[in-house]
Structure 1
Amino acid sequence: MIKIDVRRKTFGEEEILRDIRFEMEVGETIAILGASGIGKSTLLRLIAGIDPAFKGEITRPNKIAMVFQEPVLLPWRSVLENLTLVHPELGTEAALSALERIGIVDKAQFFPGQLSLGQRRRLALARAFAGRPDLLVMDEPYVSLDPTTAEEMLALTEALIAETGPAVILVTHSDVEAHRLARRCLRLAGRPATITGDLAAGPASVSWEGAS
């Protein structure tokens, strides 16, 4: 069980988050929606343990991976090395297999700067899943992609989630992405932000006005 209880998060004198509480099981996917600047990315950093400065308590597994809005890759290392240096337990053969799974094995010796945005996002996704995390935190991983590439990334994410079974928390502006991947959708609103809606996700779900 993953338990989130963020009673208060501030930056200086400004209170950003208040009374954010929810629970989830390993294997469950939750989408978090809300307006730009509402505090979604801040909440993800608290959940991932990147920012420990808040009042409250978060119970989470030890094996956590995060996919950021912009692919955080080692620009001076090859595509293959971006996997093997972070996950040395993989070995070269397993790393190449992971790259083949995401469709960029032919770019194994390229550097991140030689890849398209979509290819860099695929690599960031592969690196996150390679460690088989119990909790995967994703911060708008499909932003700025063209519709075709975004659809390919969504399909790839669906497949990788099905194969590895982590709990997933996805921040997105897109109802389509939320309903495609998530079992539940949480909406943040207000200042400080709090949860103002908790709905089951899926094609028939009600969309919140202004959520995307």
Structure 2
Amino acid sequence: MTPGIQNGTGRQVPPVQAVPADRAAIRVNILSKRFGATEVLRGVHFSVARGETVALVGPSGIGKSTVLRIVAGLDPAFDGEVQRPEAVAMVFQEPTLLPWRSALQNLTLVHPDLSDSGARAMLARVGLKGREEAFPRSLSLGQQRRLALARAFAGAPEMLIMDEPFVSLDPELAEAMLGLTEELIAEHRPATIFVTHARDEADRLASRVLELRGTPATLTPHLI
């Protein structure tokens, strides 16, 4: 994914001022997003600095994952612009691992410049030491989530996008994964955007909380 500006319709877009321009790693101006004749997003403007974590909350179906897809560059069909860095990592609700590749290969194939020793060190960092040759199907759900985190951070991302990364986990495992994610973000300091339905997760991880509301959905900032 290349850095720079991505435009939907090519309209002139005003600058985002939430973070000073010299600090912003991600700058988002979504003027409008439609699915057919239905406008689902309007006036979604925010920016995220390097090392800052922004949580995106709101009711189910309001468009949080749509915002993430636009920010990640997966959905270019919108009116506005997004500026993002080159090194981007995503963590989805499901681990989306390579099923017929080992845990180690899930890192080295995605990150060709990553050394074998570097991949092993990252697996150890997330608690998977000794499981380097295991296939995802032989790992527990918690281990699969840890592998997905290892894959995301192994590339030293400047920008991290997470879509409900702790959903469907029991409370003890969710707490362990939340703590691990918190540590990795603090160590690597990417500009992070994540979607969650759990306000306690947002309050714990995020520097700022943004809420989508209305029809079409727009942003309401919250102070923690």
TM-score, normalised via structure 1 length: 0.92
Matched, 1:138 2:169: no
Q: Which residue of 1 aligns with 2:100?
A: 76
Matched, 1:38 2:65: no
| Contact residue 48 and residue 192 of structure 2 kept, 8 A | no
Give the secondary-structure state (helix, strand or coil) at the position aligned to 1:107.
coil
- Superposition map of 1:170-189 within 5 A: 170-189=194-213
| Contact residue 28 and residue 82 of structure 2 kept, 8 A | yes
Question: Residue by residue, what CA displacement relative to the aligned partner does 1:65-109 show, whole Å, maximum 9, x if unpaired?
Answer: 111111111111111100010112221111111111101122211
Give the secondary-structure state (helix, strand or coil) at the position aligned to 1:187.
strand
What is the aligned residue count? Answer: 200
Q: Which residue of 1 aligns with 2:177?
A: 153
TM-score, normalised via structure 2 length: 0.87
Q: Which residue of 1 aligns with 2:34?
A: 10
| Contact residue 32 and residue 79 of structure 2 kept, 8 A | yes
Q: Which amino acid aligns with 1:4?
A: V
Moved over 4 A (4+): none
Please give the root-mean-square deviation of Cα atoms over the aligned residues, in Å: 0.9
Rounded to whole Å, the distance in 2 between the matches of 1:98 and 1:74 is 17
Rounded to whole Å, the distance in 1 between the matches of 2:63 and 2:138 is 33
Q: Percent identical across equivalent pairs?
A: 58
Give the secondary-structure state (helix, strand or coil) at the position aligned to 1:42.
helix
Match of 2:85 among 57, 61, 64: 61
For structure 1, list consecutive stretches of 5 or more residues without a partner in the other structure. Answer: 202-212
For structure 2, list consecutive stretches of 5 or more residues without a partner in the other structure. Answer: 1-23
Q: Which amino acid aligns with 2:223?
A: A
Structure 1 position 170, deviation (Å): 0.8
Q: Which amino acid aligns with 2:222?
A: L
Structure 1 position 200, deviation (Å): 2.5
